[in-house]
Amino acid sequence: MTLKRLQTDILILGSGGAGLFAALHAHKANPALHIIVAVKGLLGKCGCTRMVQGGYNVALAPGDSAERHFMDTIEGGGWLNDQDLAWTLVTQAQVRIRELENELGCFFDRNPDGTVHQKAFAGQTFDRTVHKGDLTGIEIVNRLAEQVWARRISRLEEHRAVDLIKTADGSALAGVLMIDMRTGGFVFVQAKAVLLGTGGGPTMYKYHTPSGDKSCDGMAMALRAGLPLRDMEMVQFHPTGLLAGPDTRMTGTVLEEGLRGSGGWLLDKDGSRFMAEYDKRGERATRDIVSRSVFDVIRKGRGTPLGGVYLQMGHLGPDRVRKEFKGMVERCADCGFDLAAGRVEVVPTAHYMMGGVAVRQDCSTELAGLFAAGEDTGGVHGANRLGGNGVANSTVFGGIAGDAMAEWVSREGTWREPDEKSLAVAETRARAPLDKPTGPLESVREGLYDGMWEDVGIVRDTESLDRGDATLQDLDHRLDGMGVVTSDLAFNLTWHDWLNLKNLILVSRCITAAARAREDSRGAHFRADFPQASDLATSRYTTARLAGEELRVTMEPVAFTRVRPGESLIRDAAE
């Protein structure tokens, strides 16, 4: 099949909050630009932003401030954050939330006096999470998608990005090789600027919250292109993933943090609350602390019949729970559980990746022409993301990226000729399983789930990380020897499963390498053999690059550009 070639001014990979906001901002900055949004599924119907239940953190209410939001973000991030990115997040969130409502048509829940209602989320000193019930992501993505359609921005649906293709001298990005999933044919999209907005999605773990189409494609492409990824050891586990049983994908589906923020209890198998044993904030401690606490309770034999703990909401009043958490109540009911009046079994579930591609303030990367935003990037959240900061991150930096790409195209953008040899190599790599005998992909997937959960999960140590690395090397070798049925490449989901696993294993190797390099415990990263945090004043973050087949990790000093450990912007602002 002949390689199809397209041209566009701006190519956006991903249609979550980052991708759609980037498209809208780039179009607004220069309506003459040709923009394509490419997505593995259907625009507005896939990705993680749509799945957001909790809400959007922003300092709006009297008594709150950007400085206070910033300090919560930095302290929650274990002082590893890029402080300039974090400051941009908290200040621009105030702009973006008004843009969402006043320009794009979102409508969030209100107080009786008409002000925006903001609920409590763990790890924060103020109730600042704006929401639409517990279906906030659907509200945001629906409105963004409508606006993209209204502007007739082009889209390539059911197209998956395979590799970033550079120029012959490697100095800039020429475009992206893609697969049209509807035909199985390859497409090269030549673009003056490209946004990496595919999202992360730690679906390499046994229990995970993102949809199955999330396979860290953007991070894997960035690694293969030689780009640096920072903070990759920092994988967030949400404490309350629905534990519906071993034979259903509903297991791992997140039950949002607002449940605990509103006063929900976590109970062991005997019905006893246990979080006070681990943190004075109880169930409202940060996600990393609650996840480790639940994990410890389970390992001590205090777990429930399915191997988790109980979440109880009924003591708050079933009618109140049904009203405030309609989506969660219905989701649990679909699985046979009564969240409003009974107890639901939950387990920590891999939820979000704080690490990702290193970016500048304008979302540009070290590869000319490539920009990145959202969960594909690292630095904003540091060692741990506060619940509610995720969708704010995507929309804030998606908008910034759109503005920056429009400006870049007008100033420096040009269509650059791709390195045809690299293009052929990328296509050959993607076609690799088509020329081999079929094999048991499910055994590789289960091996990945178990290996990452047991050895590179909530609690790690040198021995477990060594085991995890060996497991990943073996799985990668086994996968390379397996092929798929090739009678029809149109919607050949087994082929795409193979490609997903290839990307997941590479990114899992990066997580493992970064976790081995960090010999202390910080945020979401807990080393049982190094259980204490190192000196905050000399904090360092990890940077990983792929050199050939080897992942090389270095430790870089955190730049305390706005506040140092022991200081507070809140106090400075008051003075």
Q: Write down the catalytic residue from 143, 260, 343, 518.
A: 260
**CA distance readout (Å), 149 to 24, 34, 41, 161, 308:** 10, 14, 16, 22, 43
Q: Does residue 120 contact residue 261 with C-beta atoms inside 8 Å?
A: yes
Q: Does residue 378 contact residue 216 with C-beta atoms inside 8 Å?
A: no
Q: How many CB atoms lie within 10 A of CB 6?
A: 17
**CA distance readout (Å), 449 to 214, 226, 501:** 14, 26, 11
Residue 57: alpha-carbon gap to chain centroid = 16
Q: Let me know if 69 is a catalytic residue.
A: no
SS (H, E, C) 271-323: CCECHHHCCCCHHHCCHHHHHHHHHHHHHHHHCCCCCCEEEECHHHCHHHHHH
Q: Write down the catalytic residue from 131, 238, 445, 509.
A: 238
Nearest to 265 by CA among 250, 283, 279, 249: 283
Q: Does residue 57 contact residue 128 with C-beta atoms inside 8 Å?
A: yes
Q: Do strands 154-157 and 35-39 pair parallel, antiparallel, or not at all (unpaired)?
A: parallel
Q: Let me know if 496 is a catalytic residue.
A: no
The DSSP result for 474-502, as a single string, is HHHHHHHT-B---S--TT-HHHHHHHHHH
At 446, list the tokens. 């289960």
**CA distance readout (Å), 556 to 229, 230, 282, 518, 527:** 12, 9, 34, 11, 19
The single-letter DSSP state of residue 385 is P
Tallying the residues shown for the chain, one arrives at 575
Residue 180: alpha-carbon gap to chain centroid = 24
Catalytic residues: 238, 260
